[in-house]
Amino acid sequence: MARLLRVSPIGVPQHIMQRGINRQAIFADDSDMRAYLGWLKECSVKHDVEIHAWVLMTNHVHILCTPKAERATSKMMQSIGRMYVRYFNYTYLRTGTLWEGRFKSCLVQSEHYLLSLYRYIELNPVRAGMVDDPAEYSWSSYGCNALGVETKLQTPHEEYLRLGKNKEERLEAYRELLNVQVGKELLTEIRESTNRGLALGSASFSAQIERLTNARVTKKRIGRPKKK
């Protein structure tokens, strides 16, 4: 099945997922994760991408971001990918590719889905059974968004800022938000949209994106087209 053309309108949030080839580990220890986050910061600034949330898992990464320039997310991920593969291969005496093809992504409607993506990403280690509390996992943006840890990597989205009038209110509201796991139906919707490159949002949002980009971001209808 032909893959959809990747679209990346300026100012529209995106959920990115990239996995190791054959689901193999892409991080062997903490130094690898520190290196990846360092390049994520460097490349996001270079290519003008705002990073809102992230998590580094053993064999894949999730990033929630907003591009501020043409093809910014693709350029950012290509730059990180090349530098990290060189680093990983040199460190662990290996050769060849590390990634399972190109990264997966979907466009995200801010009003209804963005904070759900924050939750989906930062609760990943909990769903995987690695920790009981997201605060126990060091390699996600939970510390920034829920506990107020300062970092130059993260830029809060407007939807996050609407959680409270000040930092303390926002942190408390966000912690309450993450006390609830993402439901199965929404999990399926997020995963399908990301894996297939679909828009994650309402029908009107998807239609707006298709008019803007002249590219399909919704499921293809099965069966013969209706007769006129």
Structural domain of 45: 14-202
86, part of any domain? yes
CATH number, residue 139: 3.30.70.1290
Q: CA dist 85 to 25, 32, 53, 90, 222, Å?
A: 12, 11, 22, 8, 39
217, part of any domain? no
User: pLDDT tens digit string along 74-120?
Assistant: 999 999 999 999 999 999 999 999 999 899 999 999 988 999 999 99
Other beta carbons within 10 angstroms of residue 179's beta carbon come to 8
212, part of any domain? no
Q: Strand 14-19 relative to strand 60-67: parallel, antiparallel, unpaired?
A: antiparallel
- Paired tokens of 172: 């408390």
**For residues 1 and 216, which has the higher predicted lDDT (pLDDT)?**
216
3, part of any domain? no
- pLDDT above 80 (res 222): no
| Counted domains in the chain | 1
115, part of any domain? yes
Count, residues in the chain: 228
User: pLDDT tens digit string along 111-158?
Assistant: 889 999 999 999 999 999 999 999 999 999 999 999 999 999 999 999
User: pLDDT tens digit string along 166-213?
Assistant: 999 999 999 999 998 899 999 999 999 999 988 898 888 878 888 877
228, part of any domain? no
214, part of any domain? no
Q: How many CA atoms lie within 13 A of 62 on its CB side?
A: 24
219, part of any domain? no
